[in-house]
């Protein structure tokens, strides 16, 4: 069963003084979903925003647009219900921060959200695969930079993780996050990623609709080629 290419602009790279308007601009430009980075200053050094801002975003964009909250926090269990109440659709926690990831996935699903699990570059992919064999998530997210820091280069060697996951789970939504642009998307698509988080490459472009369109086309092309072979 082929997976669907989905492009999610990372709104942390937007004009934060006009966050609702920026989210609407991305939707109008063809975004498949919005990627919202939540940082607590503990799991990662920076602080961004929490569920009150997510609730405001939901009010600005309406009910039909999918929002993924990427929870770069030290206690992901604590924020499941507040984020569900705020209108998040996908709750992606970090495997490194979860004390009971199997139960956390179940708790996320009980709220009606889809459950996502992310891993940092230093985390072996085997740790994630072991989790998926015991409790399957709806989404996985492979970090292609160290979370919480800006201005990093795309880590091409993380694509071996994506490829390994895709080989074992052909229909799973696999995301990549960090340094993804038109210059690096081919690596992601060829490895088997289908959920593409992209920040400045989309947000800072004069033609974000064209960037989103091209990113999606490249992922779709590699997806079709993999089906043929």
Active-site residues: which are they? 37, 177
Q: Are 174 and 189 in contact (CB under 8 A)?
A: no
Distance between CA atoms of 115 and 93, rounded to whole angstroms? Answer: 8
Report which of 188, 187, 140 is spatially closest to residue 168, judged by C-alpha positions. Answer: 140
Distance, CA of 20 to CA of 58 (rounded, Å): 9
**CB 53: neighbour CB atoms within 10 A?**
17
Check residue 47 and report its DSSP letter.
Answer: B
CA distance 184 to 138: 25
Phi, psi of 210 (to 5 degrees): -70, -35
3-class DSSP assignment, residue 106: helix
């Amino acid at each position: 069963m082929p997976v669907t290419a989905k492009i999610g602009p990372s709104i942390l790279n937007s004009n934060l003084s006009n966050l609702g308007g920026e989210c609407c601009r991305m939707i109008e430009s063809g975004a498949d979903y919005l990627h919202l980075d939540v940082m607590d200053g503990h799991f990662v050094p920076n602080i961004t925003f929490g569920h009150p801002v997510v609730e405001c975003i939901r009010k600005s964009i309406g009910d039909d647009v999918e929002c993924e909250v990427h929870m770069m926090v030290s206690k992901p269990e604590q924020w499941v219900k507040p984020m569900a109440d705020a209108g998040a659709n996908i709750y992606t926690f970090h495997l490194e921060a979860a004390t009971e990831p199997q139960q956390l996935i179940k708790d996320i699903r009980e709220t009606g959200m889809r459950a996502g699990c992310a891993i940092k570059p230093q985390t072996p992919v085997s740790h994630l695969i072991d989790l998926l064999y015991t409790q399957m998530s709806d989404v996985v997210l492979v970090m292609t930079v160290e979370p919480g820091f800006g201005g990093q280069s795309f880590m091409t060697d993380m694509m071996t993780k994506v490829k390994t996951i895709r080989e074992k789970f052909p229909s799973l939504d696999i995301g990549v996050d960090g340094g993804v642009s038109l210059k690096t998307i081919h690596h992601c698509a060829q490895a088997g990623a289908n959920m593409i988080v992209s920040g400045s490459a989309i947000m800072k472009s004069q033609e974000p609709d064209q960037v989103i369109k091209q990113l999606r086309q490249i992922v779709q092309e590699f997806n079709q080629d993999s089906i043929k072979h």
